[in-house]
Structure 1
Amino acid sequence: MVAKKSGRTSSARKKKSKNMPKQIAAAVVVIAAAVCVLIFGGGMAGPATSTTLAPLITDEHAFSMHVIDVGQADAILLSKDGKFALVDAGETMKPSEREARDKLFAYLDSLNVTRLEFLLLTHQDYDHIGSALDVLKKYEVGTVYDNGVVHTSATYEKLMTHILDQKIPYRVVAAGDVITSPWQGVTLEVLSPQKDLIMSGKNPDINENSVVIKAVYQNVSYLLTGDAEKKAEEAMLAAGEDLNADILKAGHHGSSTSSTQKFLNAVSPAVIVISLGEGNEYGHPHKEPLERFVQMTEHIYRTDMDGDVVVTTDGNVYSVVTRKAHIYENVIVPNQAAA
């Protein structure tokens, strides 16, 4: 495949779908760090400064997935019509620094977020829940969802105690459930974990039991996979889940434990976004999944290089906005070979 840099000729293409072909409307628009705010399909801080590969989506009712650059952690904001929800609120593994929390709060505050319709925690690892308690204390939250796995970390226990004490609505979700959508025209289906959880030995495996959701707005779909790994992917395939999606938030920060070829074939994504930290100690993203991603699409983004990544749709086409300049040749280079 021929690599293309941001700002060159349009790379719009058709994508196979069970509904209808969908065109990638915008490959990259750079968002420069600045004080001013550009409201774009739900919001993004900073003015657009570079040329686009295709037109931006400016539909006032557009639906956006904001993969926020919070380092080696996950925090994904969903937005439409001035309503917001958060999938994960992770913190890096250096809790004294609170770096991810500060980045997350700055991002939400730049969009004037005061309420989250829901907070979905895909699983109980610190890099996915480390800032959740702070989020609940700072913002009004409608409902908290998670996978129901019993976990004994102090972080999770404090979080659950706060939810109970403050009487915040809480619900466990599993495959087959539908999350009540706060946005007209958007559906939110849960594809994993299984009702009886995916087991590893005597105890449920945290990553494998990540909550996987599929968000669909008209003819465009997003698949958010948390840290789901091979067993979870196999379980979804075996259950016959409809995994086909235009936009994929890659599993487990681009680890070789996730994104198997069979799974990617079922998803057939046109856009892949990886949330990870620069120079992380795990070597994410690993070589094997990157090689598979390159075979699927040329629209691959990673927060350690691109910064915040926003994928917006009007229901028929979709666009990608990045905080930093997107250089394809750099993005597809792994941090190190998978162990």
Structure 2
Amino acid sequence: HSSKTYENYLIKIDQENISFDTPRQGDKFKIGAIEIHFLHPDQSLNQYNLNNSSLVFVLNYGQQRFLFTGDIEKEVEKELLAENPNLKADIIKVPHHGSDTSSSTAWVKSLEPKTAVIQVGGDNSYGHPKSKIIKLYQTEAANVFRNDLNGNIVITADGRNHTVKIDRSSNNIMAGAELDSKNNNTSKTETSLININSAEAAVLDKLWGIGPATAEKIIKYRNEHGPFEKLEEIKKVNSIDDYKFERWQDKITIN
């Protein structure tokens, strides 16, 4: 997903003619006593959607293992376990903000994490995190922390042990977590369609995979080319691919 910060980095790289490498599976490098080992993806991204193209890496420090997972889903989790049968993590950045498209039972049981951090914004439109995912990590004896409830989460490690410092405590780590759709009998008001010809950036940002930067691109495209005449025309906007469009084509309108 694009962001203004990311795009500013790309602009700076281009302006300064800075050489850079994109890590791939098998790449390693050291920073002092820390070793970072990239597990995913390999050289080709053709078989993966946007989420499953996320970088996955292990940060090794002494006897401790930190696992960073991006937005990978169960498909890639299965691949990683097959390729790395002894993969463990003391601390894990929970995949995809605690979505139930990720964190399979086999994944969590195999990793045996002691601390699980769910990076998620409050009252987000995606329904992250799911309560059953939180319960799954707790069942495997992991301490679960969430940015929306705990604020900044700072982990300090010495290579053997680690401590977690948070801005605020929460008496209910399940607060605001969305129930599994199969078990949630609460009636919900159907959300109205988003008019891509008139919606402001803050409204467009509610669509799956559309951050502030892409929302501005949609508005810019509208201003330069006029109103969208067909829903599919939005795919002409840079960074909107078939996968994104399929996720929310039933949530948008041009009228």
Would you say same fold, with TM above 0.5? yes
Question: 1:181 maps to which residue?
Answer: 30
Quick check: 2:33–2:62 contact (8 Å CA) kept in 1?
A: yes
Question: 1:232 maps to which residue?
Answer: 76
Higher relative contact order (CA 8 A, sep 6+): 1
Secondary structure of the structure 2 residue equivalent to 1:131: helix
Match of 2:5 among 126, 131, 140: 131
Instruction: Tell me by how many angstroms 1:131 deviates.
Output: 1.9
- Unpaired segments ≥5 residues, structure 1: 1-124, 137-158
| Alpha-carbon separation, structure 2, partners of 1:227 and 1:190 | 15
| Alpha-carbon separation, structure 1, partners of 2:40 and 2:98 | 19
2:36 alignment partner AA? L
Quick check: 1:290–1:334 contact (8 Å CA) kept in 2?
A: no
Question: 1:335 maps to which residue?
Answer: 177
Percent sequence identity over matched residues?
A: 28
Q: CA deviation digits over 1:82-123, x for unaligned, max 9?
A: xxxxxxxxxxxxxxxxxxxxxxxxxxxxxxxxxxxxxxxxxx
Secondary structure of the structure 2 residue equivalent to 1:273: strand
Quick check: 1:198–1:209 contact (8 Å CA) kept in 2?
A: no
Instruction: Tell me by how many angstroms 1:334 deviates.
Output: 5.1
2:178 alignment partner AA? Q
| Alpha-carbon separation, structure 2, partners of 1:298 and 1:251 | 15
Secondary structure of the structure 2 residue equivalent to 1:222: strand
Quick check: 1:271–1:300 contact (8 Å CA) kept in 2?
A: yes
Secondary structure of the structure 1 residue equivalent to 2:136: helix
Question: 2:51 maps to which residue?
Answer: 207
Match of 1:277 among 113, 121, 127: 121
Quick check: 2:91–2:116 contact (8 Å CA) kept in 1?
A: yes
Question: 1:260 maps to which residue?
Answer: 104
| Alpha-carbon separation, structure 2, partners of 1:299 and 1:264 | 13
Question: 1:172 maps to which residue?
Answer: 22
Q: CA deviation digits over 1:118-143, x for unaligned, max 9?
A: xxxxxxx13xx442244x4xxxxxxx
Quick check: 2:113–2:142 contact (8 Å CA) kept in 1?
A: no
| Alpha-carbon separation, structure 1, partners of 2:43 and 2:109 | 25
Instruction: Tell me by how many angstroms 1:169 deviates.
Output: 2.9
The alignment's C-alpha RMSD in Å is 1.8
- Greater strand content: 1
| Alpha-carbon separation, structure 1, partners of 2:143 and 2:178 | 21
Query: When the two structures are superposed, what TM-score results if normalisation uses the length of structure 2?
Result: 0.66
Could you say if the C-alpha distance between residues 277 and 260 of structure 1 is closer, same or farther in structure 2, counting changes exceeding 3 Å? Answer: same
Could you say if the C-alpha distance between residues 239 and 168 of structure 1 is closer, same or farther in structure 2, counting changes exceeding 3 Å? Answer: same
Quick check: 1:209–1:232 contact (8 Å CA) kept in 2?
A: no
Q: CA deviation digits over 1:195-222, x for unaligned, max 9?
A: 33361xxxx3110111001001101110
Query: When the two structures are superposed, what TM-score results if normalisation uses the length of structure 1?
Result: 0.50
Quick check: 1:255–1:286 contact (8 Å CA) kept in 2?
A: yes
Quick check: 2:145–2:173 contact (8 Å CA) kept in 1?
A: yes
- Unpaired segments ≥5 residues, structure 2: 182-255
Question: 1:67 maps to which residue?
Answer: none
Q: CA deviation digits over 1:168-203, x for unaligned, max 9?
A: 23112221111x333x1100000111333361xxxx
| Alpha-carbon separation, structure 2, partners of 1:267 and 1:198 | 27
